[in-house]
């Protein structure tokens, strides 16, 4: 029962809303002299949109509090000033800090705007790590140069390290050691550690002492790589939580761990909060392009193909198959993951809030159902073609065994199968396909949607 005191024109009342009454000086400021117009679970936003006689409207759901003249949203939710009774759910909770009625324009964090705070504002662009994270675009030429070096380094360094280890094995016996070195270097690269340390580790693994352990180590490292593919996205989001940010203020060790996590996700230390990160769309905008997602996809594809064909031009034909294998293993999962970004959709309201179920979903990168169906068909065809190429490279010695005689099989076949028993020759193919599909799932279902 609200407390009321009769007066000629106004009544002093506790602002009606969804939060229960509590005693204390803190709640005294919430006693408001206002026209007795708003009932329970209704609010009035007069004076905010140039309307001092605004009508009472229903309080938005998922609010921290809602009184007759003010309200505040819970983090991860926002409202449109034109209709504050309709609550939008944010796919990236960090983009919606929980705005209040004193300034409805601050419903979204810096760098975000639009419905559900799912769009990037001016001067920001989608991060390479997730379609839901917006990063500030560089302004100075030094920042732009660092972004280009960072983006190109993520392509050149892993490919160079893997190709160096693989192509340094001219015989079948040495291929086992090269494979172990290549896989181990991929683990180091995935963690974005110093590449000088990775080179030293490769040299150690190329010694004769690891010859007997190469096969067993390669199998275990394969499983570790698959696990790292899944956990990389999780660690990226953990680094954005309030708990981690508070702990990092006094824990130097966790600060270092947080920096490592951000590097694993390809982000800057303030990603998702208006910080400086890596965005290919920013770089494309600087080149005079529109900065669409498909342009970033094309950019990464062209860079990957240029590296593969460029290396093939300097190697003898017998090593071309091995170069293709190394290129697919380095670049294919990341390139294919862009299909998941195109297909990403999020739900911004419960299905009961609209007449049609489709009216509660939004797909930022595909306008119609026909486009999504066509994209799925293209994605399936591309996946099957690449899988067929990879498996054919692995099965080559089986088809040519009678013709090859006692000769060693091609280098790419040795590289893919020598670490496994005869019955497990396709294990490497299964690992690549599994890693590709997991990367696709992470892109299509960003962890920020359900942290």
* pTM for this entry: 0.65
Helices 214-238 and 427-444, packing angle to 10 deg: 0
Phi and psi (nearest 5°) for 120? -90, 135
**What residue spans define the domains of the chain?**
4-122, 134-443
Closest residue by Cα to residue 302 from 267, 342, 335: 335
pLDDT-derived band at 169 (thresholds 50, 70, 90) equals: low
Q: How far apart are the first and last CA of the chain?
A: 39
Indicate the SS3 state at residue 222.
Answer: helix
Provide CB contacts within 8 A for 256, sequence distance 6+.
none
Q: How far is CA 94 from CA 116, 117, 137, 266, 375, in A?
A: 11, 10, 19, 18, 30
Tokens of 212: 């007997």
Tokens of 26: 């803190």
Tokens of 216: 């067993």
CB distance 189 to 157 below 8 Å: yes
| Strand partners of residue 219 | none
The pLDDT of residue 14 is 41
Tokens of 334: 């990341």
CB distance 340 to 383 below 8 Å: no
pLDDT over 70 for what percent of the chain?
57
pLDDT-derived band at 197 (thresholds 50, 70, 90) equals: very low
Is pLDDT above 70 for 436?
yes
Indicate the SS3 state at residue 9.
Answer: coil
d(CA 218, CA 331): 20
The pLDDT of residue 236 is 59
User: pLDDT tens-digit profile of 84-110?
Assistant: 888 888 888 888 888 777 777 778 888
């Amino acid at each position: 029962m609200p407390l009321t005191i009769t007066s000629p024109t106004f009544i002093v009342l506790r602002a009606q809303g969804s939060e229960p009454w509590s005693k204390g000086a803190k709640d005294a400021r919430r006693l408001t002299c206002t026209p007795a117009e708003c009932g329970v679970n209704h609010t009035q936003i007069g004076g905010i949109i140039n309307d001092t006689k605004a009508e009472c409207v229903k309080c938005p759901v998922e609010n921290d509090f809602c009184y007759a003249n003010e309200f505040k949203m819970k983090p991860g939710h926002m409202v449109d000033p034109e209709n504050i009774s309709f609550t939008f759910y944010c796919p990236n909770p960090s983009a919606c800090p929980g705005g209040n009625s004193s300034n409805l324009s601050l419903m979204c964090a810096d760098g975000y705007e639009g419905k559900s705070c799912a769009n990037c504002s001016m001067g920001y662009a989608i991060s390479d790590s997730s379609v839901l994270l917006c990063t500030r675009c560089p302004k100075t030429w030094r920042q732009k140069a660092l972004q280009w070096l960072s983006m190109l380094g993520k392509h050149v360094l892993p490919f160079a390290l893997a190709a160096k280890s693989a192509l340094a094995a001219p015989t079948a016996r040495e291929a086992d050691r090269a494979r172990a070195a290549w896989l181990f270097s991929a683990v180091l690269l995935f963690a974005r550690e110093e590449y000088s340390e990775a080179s030293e580790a490769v040299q150690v693994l190329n010694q004769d002492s690891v010859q007997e352990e190469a096969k067993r180590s390669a199998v275990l490292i394969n499983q570790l790589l698959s696990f790292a593919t899944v956990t990389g996205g999780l660690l990226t989001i953990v680094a954005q939580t309030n708990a981690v940010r508070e702990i990092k203020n006094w824990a130097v060790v966790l600060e270092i761990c947080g920096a490592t996590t951000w590097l694993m996700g390809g982000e800057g230390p303030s990603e998702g909060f208006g910080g400086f990160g890596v965005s290919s769309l920013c770089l494309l905008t600087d080149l005079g392009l529109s900065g669409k997602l498909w342009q970033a996809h094309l950019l990464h594809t062209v860079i990957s193909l240029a590296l593969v064909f460029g290396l093939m031009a300097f190697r003898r034909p017998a090593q071309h198959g091995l170069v293709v294998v190394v290129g697919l293993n380095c670049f294919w999962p990341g390139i294919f993951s862009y299909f998941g970004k195109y297909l990403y959709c999020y739900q911004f309201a419960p299905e009961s809030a609209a007449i049609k179920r489709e009216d509660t979903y939004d797909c930022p990168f595909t306008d119609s159902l026909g486009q999504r169906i066509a994209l799925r068909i293209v994605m399936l065809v591309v996946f099957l073609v690449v899988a067929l190429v990879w498996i054919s490279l692995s099965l080559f010695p089986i088809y040519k065994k009678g013709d090859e005689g006692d000769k060693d099989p091609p280098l790419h076949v040795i590289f893919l199968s020598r670490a496994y028993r005869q019955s497990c020759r396709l294990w490497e193919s299964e690992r690549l396909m599994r890693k590709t599909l997991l990367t696709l799932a992470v892109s299509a279902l960003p962890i920020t949607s359900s942290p």
